[in-house]
Structure 1
């Protein structure tokens, strides 16, 4: 007997002999589950026959409600998108899909449930529950005279099939063009909550397509600045709702195809940070970038006379995560530079120094303080080690007014 055929005991519907456990089944609330089935399925014969046969043959009713849910699941896979089903089947080595008929007629039940899970239509717990129902259904089908559905089977089967599948509307998955049309507006745009929610519930293959598209556009100089910035903002909005597997796949593509054995550019690190890919970049790539950036910082100089260059320089550092992702072996160099930029040097000389005890960069000092403050992993002991090991800082804090500014930095930390 084929898996998708409904097993019906001979003459059951003609005898109308009520099952001895039916009163208990009624009291268990199974009828409430049936009432939750969405209207589109309530009217279908398959559900109506299930309701009719439940009092006399709970085992057949269990099989019928399961089959109804599988029919519904097949329809939901098609509505979600044949392209996503094809990509998912290929990724997870499921039977290939070339047409809707493969899903409606040729995909066996267990593979269909797996496909729906991998597409994101069933969560992992939901997938496991439906597979348990499938096991119960097989027992009822193949051990007809030996295994009868007990009250607990009926309740579990009906609750699971209805709550997970039959009560829920099909998912209309967000399209790539939906996002593309928004970011290509010739003005600053941001994704609204409805679009973000559609993305959140989209299956992994569709999320990956959208995420990689946005990353590509944000880094492609052929696109107008406004479109690239809209893409960047869209990535920032979608990042909290992006599946971890999407991040891993996108990071792998970023490492292998975009960087391909070279240090990232500033714009690439900026996008890698906002998209959540930065932690997954190869350590050697990150180290090269941060070593080169540190050289740029010292070439620019922390001295207050370079204040006009500090704004762009330190904003660039903030846009790649500040101090958070910098390898420990070069992190102290950053901390030293930021401290030197913040504390400044003794003042009270020259025309502008008459009323200024300390000269410091008006642009660089507040940004340096902000970067040090934002790194939650930074400890007072690390700052103390940096201060003690820096002859430049030691020389400057001989001035009591400069020393007070260093105390501002120590005040950031509660640890000893």
Structure 2
């Protein structure tokens, strides 16, 4: 009976992720509640995700990122964007690409483009580099670089990924380390960046880029010098603890929490700001997924799903074939539906398949994490993608010469790189 209840709850979760009517965190909390009500899990087992090391690391890190946005870094970059008069040609392309890379390390891509589109509208259509030619490649740069550099939220991406599958596959040797995503994503990031640097000319030169309808991004008051210095010191210290986790050990998981406590007492963060970050939907989503994963493991539902998919793949498929299969599925799904929905469905399914096949899951998990943000093919892929298509007044026929090769390059490089570093047979 537990098996059927778990499968029903899993189906409920997937349907709600696809439907997107309610916040995903609410969906996973409902799943955990149902699993506890029907006694598939005890209450403490159902909600054990909130005490998971990865959650303890990621939640305060989100609050720490809020503190960074209150420093003078973002206004300085905005001022640089405003000073475009003397820049032309490739210098302009490089400049906007670098600004995009910098922004997406600390603030959401949607907010990034809400800022940058306004400045792009001031560019003339008379030169080779026009707003219409820059906007879509900037989205391509964002897709490639978002969460890549291990600073800010990128520093905890490995823990976020681990949290999605460590309850199903509890072998510590198969958990990701801080730099694993960085090295696997290096080849795709380089290849996609080079494509963006040269392929912007494939886009229509003249267009009607508009900032109408863009959400206004509120100016954040910059902290006083003393508090700003405190933020930089705390941020640097936390990053050092994360990077040196081989020696700092479990201190890595509590360093961000210690950092935000210092910032609250130092006046750089307020309690409401921290509370808002700690109660973000993402935190409830991650914690809830862990509860569902625990039920799948305990009830045998995970084995059932994993063995069923494994039987379709065959007894001993090649590692590269499996990598290509998961890369294609991930990118196709994230092209037509949201990043979050794609990831939350595939992480659990992939983990059960890896467990059934006794495979090393790290390469496949990184494929999902990296491929999940390659969402520029259709406006429905992500909020920032919809924003770009709307602001650029793009039709699919306007951009396919850029987007289709971009997606193909992503599929080939992500699958190859994941198989190079983490083949499924070890």
Q: TM-score, normalized by length of structure 1?
A: 0.22
Larger relative contact order (Cα-Cα within 8 Å, sequence gap ≥ 6): 2
Who wins on radius of gyration, i.e. which is larger? 1
Q: TM-score, normalized by length of structure 2?
A: 0.22
Structure with greater proportional helix content: 2
